[in-house]
């Protein structure tokens, strides 16, 4: 049985909560904390940009047309950082680290609640 996903963005003080309703009993909450310190050797906010008119608003690297998802999928498919850097000479190792930091931070704020 397919479940439909309903999305609701709620802003509370300085936090944004994205609620996905997957079914009557399952909810997925994504908590986006305000910009601030990130416990990593790299501050991904300096590298990752989101523009509504570029790549459908997906997070991109330094305003370029390559998304965080593209990089994560290349890594997941088995490409090494060096292979990605060879294929995309305008990217840096810090760009790839920023993608990983962005995904790690986003994952850290994902909660699945079954009720």
Residue 107 lies in a domain: yes
Residue 21 falls within a domain, yes or no?
Answer: yes
The count of domains in the chain is: 1
| Residues β-bridged to residue 6 | 21
- 56-66 residues labelled b (16+ CB within 10 A) or e (exposed): eeebbbeeeeb
In this prediction the pTM is 0.61
Is residue 39 situated within a structural domain?
yes
Q: Looking at residue 77, what is its pLDDT?
A: 95
Contact 72, 99 (CB under 8 A): yes
pLDDT confidence band for 108 (50 / 70 / 90): confident
For residue 110, name the pLDDT band (cuts at 50, 70, 90).
confident
Contact 79, 71 (CB under 8 A): no
Which domain does 81 fall in, by range? 6-114
Residue 65 lies inside a defined structural domain of this protein: yes
Q: Does residue 26 form part of some domain?
A: yes
In this predicted model, what pLDDT tens digit does every residue of 22-59 receive, in sequence order? 444 444 444 444 444 444 467 899 999 999 999 999 99
Give 109's pLDDT tier (boundaries 50, 70, 90): confident
Residue 1 in domain: no
pLDDT tens track for 48-107: 999 999 999 999 999 999 999 999 999 999 999 999 999 999 999 999 999 999 998 888
For the domain that residue 66 is a member of, what is the CATH number? Answer: 1.10.10.10
């Amino acid at each position: 049985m397919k479940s439909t996903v309903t999305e609701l963005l709620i802003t509370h003080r300085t936090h944004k909560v994205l609620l996905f309703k997957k079914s009557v009993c399952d909810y997925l909450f994504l908590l986006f904390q305000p910009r601030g310190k990130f416990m990593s050797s790299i501050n991904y906010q300096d590298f990752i940009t989101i523009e509504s008119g570029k790549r459908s608003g997906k997070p991109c690297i330094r305003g370029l047309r390559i998304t965080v998802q593209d990089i994560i999928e290349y890594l997941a498919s088995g490409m090494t950082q060096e292979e990605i850097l060879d294929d995309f000479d305008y990217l840096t190792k810090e760009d790839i680290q920023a993608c990983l930091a962005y995904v790690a931070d986003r994952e850290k704020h994902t909660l699945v609640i079954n009720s």
